[in-house]
Every structure is written in C-alpha cells, then in structure tokens.
Amino acid sequence: MTSAEQAILVINAGSSSIKFQLFDGEHSLLRGQVDGLGTKPHLSVHDDAGTTLADSALPADDAACHETALGAIVAFLSTATPDIAVRAVGHRVVHGGPDHADPVLIDETLQQALARLEPLAPLHQPHNLAGIRAAQKAFPGTPQIACFDTAFHRGHPRVIDTFALPSAFYDEGVRRYGFHGLSYEFVAGRLCEIAPDVGRGRVIIAHLGNGASMCALRDGKSVSTSMGFSALDGLPMGTRSGQIDPGVLLYLMQERGMDGDEIADLLYHRSGLLGLSGVSSDMRTLEASPDPAARLAIEHFALRIRRETGALAAILGGLDALVFTGGIGEHSARVRSLACADMGWLGIALDADANAAQETRLSPAEAKVAVYRIETDEERMIARQARRLVDA
C-alpha cells in the first residue's frame, strides 16, 4: 500500500460530539464531526478544500452514544474513502497524570489508570475514554494511541509544579499539570517556522477558547502555565471560574451548606463568562450584546489575560513574543486589543489595522515584543504524534 492508503484517524471525543480528521502524512484528507449525541445527532464532513462531503441529520439510534456515533463515522469513511485503510487511531486525552510525557499505545491497564484521573478533568476525561472504547470496537486490532494535553508540561522543576501544601500531597499527585499542551506544541512549532529566532526565545502563548489558558515557553518548551491541578485554574473560561480564592469555597461549604457536587457544578458549569454576564458563555454573543454585564465579562477576561501575561513574563525574565490562538484568540480582535492594552511597559503594542484585519503579525515592526495570531491544529499534532509512534 502507498502512504495514502494507510491513514491516521484522529478522534477528539467530547460530551455530546465526536470530532474526527483523517490524515495522509501532513495532508488532511477530510475532517468532520457528529454532534448532538443522544438528542439530535448530525453528521458534517468537509475535505481539505472546504468542500462539503456530508451535512445531514442522523437517526437518533445511529448516534445515541459514542459507540453508535463512531459507527456512523466508520460507515461514512467506508463509502467516501473505500481504498484507504486506517493504520492507527490517535485520541486526544486531556489528562495523563504525572506518568505520561509521550504518546502511548492504549491497553486495558492504561485505560484503568486514565479512568482514575476522571475527577481531575470531569468535563473531558470520561468522554475521551468513551471515544477510545468506541474506536476499539470500530477498529479491532488497529493501534489506538493516546496523546495527552498534559504531556507538553511534564518536566517542569518541582518548584514550578508544587503547591504550598505538605509534601506528601505532591507525592500523591496533587500538583500542577497544565493543559492545552497539544495546542501549545503545534503553535510553538508554527512560530518557529514563521519567525525562528523569536520562536526560540521567551514566548507566551494564550490559548483562548471555551477553555482558556496561557503558557510560558523558552526554546519551544513549556516553562510554566496558568492551569494547574485541574482544568479549572487560571483564566476565567466559558463556564469555568478560573482561579478563585480557596476561602470562597470554604465559605460556600460552611456558610451556604453547598456540598462537593454543588460546588463542582458551580465552578465547571455556571461560572466564567456565563456566570459573570448572565448572558452567554460564547464570546461572539457577548461582543454583540449591549448588556453592561456582557461588557464586564469581556473586560474581566482581558484583565486576567494581562495579569497572567505579567506573571509569566516574570518567570521567563522578559518577553520576546506573545501569541494568540484558540477560537477567541484567533478571531476576536476586541479581546486581543483589550488584552494588550496598557502593556507598553512590557514592550507589547498592537498595530490596530493588522489586528482588525486578522493578520498573522499583529505588532508594529519596531515593537520590542512581537505579537502574533496563529491558528492552532490539535488534530494535526495528534496525527504527528501517532504516526511517530507507529513508525518507531
């Protein structure tokens, strides 16, 4: 078989959707998703040129869960790409714990270990594992490879990853892990292609989407990141609180009588942009809203980005580049402008016209800190990692 006949299928399973992409080397043959699992399932697929290959509702029974949804995807692939065999399936797994710094072949022992990490990433980990189980049934005998969002941040010195708790907690795994590593690794590579000297310097990447975090890099490697033990820490997000005083949680338990499940629901599902605005968790909706609370949510989000930029620059000992990525980072000129406002003391400045035009370089040529907008591609990063492993 030629390389085009043996492709890498990438699966990114969420709570109500399965995103997928089929790669022949670096070439994306097609991408799509089944969303609305269990309610109103819908299949959409496009090729690399953007041509629509499928856009249709599915019978509810054909996508009632991850297993049946993946069955619908396999049925589509067998018709649309009959001559292409899936050589391996790469999976995005949000949490790899302290032990996984590289992609790894999935077996039952690994699945059990990853299931024990579900409390640390309850919005993602259970669904990632459901996607793995579904793919194992759909592609029996095909290598299934886990690629971890936490892996990029492994290797930090203990002083970075520890909390100021008794050391026994660190030994038990209570430490900072960091997330969005697949995105950071891809964007760091693209920055080195665009501006090699800058990419090898002191860089902060802001991955801003429904989930949001920031990462300090030196020579393309993670030095520190805003997310910690769970995907709740750091910046406020679509529905997640971000960093919060632990005393608030004690108050909620002791004075309001809230239990762990109620607090988890508050922090994961009813906070962030949604909680602040009372309008929406979607930045596009907030930017279009005349509600003062929507403006407050946007301004608070940008303020926290500026605060984290300063903190990460202090760890790096200065800054050579700031990169925006993710759905908000790539598309919201307003958020980028607010996030860079009053940051001239650090050498950050935006070219307003370049920012409005969504160009790649957003800063003036003479600016001390180069500011970029780079589109991320986590699925392509997963395909690369999976291919390296099966080729080894």
Residue 190 DSSP SS3: helix
Amino acid in the structure at residue 240:
R
- Helix and strand tally (H, E) in the chain? 16, 13
In the chain the beta strands, taken as DSSP E runs, fall at: 6-13, 17-24, 27-35, 42-47, 52-57, 85-93, 104-105, 144-148, 202-208, 212-218, 221-225, 321-325, 370-373
Q: Say yes or no to pLDDT of 190 above 60.
A: yes
**CA 350 from centroid of its chain's CA atoms:** 25
Catalytic member of 61, 83, 99, 149: 149
DSSP codes of every residue in 13-76: E-SSEEEEEEEETTEEEEEEEEESTTSS-EEEEEETT--EEEEEE--GGGGSSHHHHHHHHHHH
Is residue 245 flagged as an active site residue? no
| Cβ within 8 Å of residue 343, ≥6 positions away | 306, 309, 349
> Minimum mean pLDDT among 129-138, 195-204, 261-270, 307-316: which range?
129-138
**pTM listed for this prediction:** 0.93
User: In this structure, what DSSP letter does residue 361 have?
Assistant: B
- The dihedral over CA atoms of 141, 131, 119, 209, expressed in degrees to the nearest 10, equals 130
CB 58 within 8 A of CB 72: yes
CB atoms within 10 A of CB 13: 27
| Choice among 5-19, 38-52, 252-266, 325-339 with the minimum mean pLDDT | 5-19
Q: Looking at residues 369-377, what average pLDDT do you find?
A: 97
Report pLDDT digits (tens) over 271-304: 999 999 999 999 999 999 999 999 999 999 999 9
- pLDDT (tens digit per residue) in 110-121: 999 999 999 888
Start-end of CATH 3.30.420.40 domains in the chain: 3-148, 196-378
pLDDT at 41: 87
In the prediction, which pLDDT does 115 show?
Answer: 95
pLDDT band at residue 215 under the 50/70/90 scheme: very high
Task: Output the DSSP codes for 64-124.
Answer: SSHHHHHHHHHHHHHHH-TT-EEEEEEEEES--GGG-SS-EE--HHHHHHHHTTGGGSTTT
Band (64; pLDDT cuts 50, 70, 90)? confident
Q: Which CATH architecture has domain 3-148?
A: 2-Layer Sandwich (3.30)
Per cent of the chain over pLDDT 70 is 98
**Residue 5: its pLDDT value, please?**
65
Burial of 256 (0-12, 13-18, 19+ CB in 10 A): exposed
pLDDT the model gives residue 6: 83
Task: Reply yes or no on whether the pLDDT at 1 is more than 80.
Answer: no
Mean pLDDT of 208-225: 97
Nearest to 161 by CA among 249, 236, 233, 250: 233
Average pLDDT, the chain: 94
Q: Which of 121-125, 135-139, 361-365 has the highest mean pLDDT?
A: 361-365
Residue type (1 letter), 121: A
Give tens-digit pLDDT for 11-32.
988 877 888 999 999 999 999 9
Q: Is the pLDDT assigned to residue 258 strictly greater than 50? A: yes
Candidate CATH numbers 3.40.50.300, 3.40.50.150, 3.50.50.60, 3.30.420.40; the one for domain 196-378: 3.30.420.40
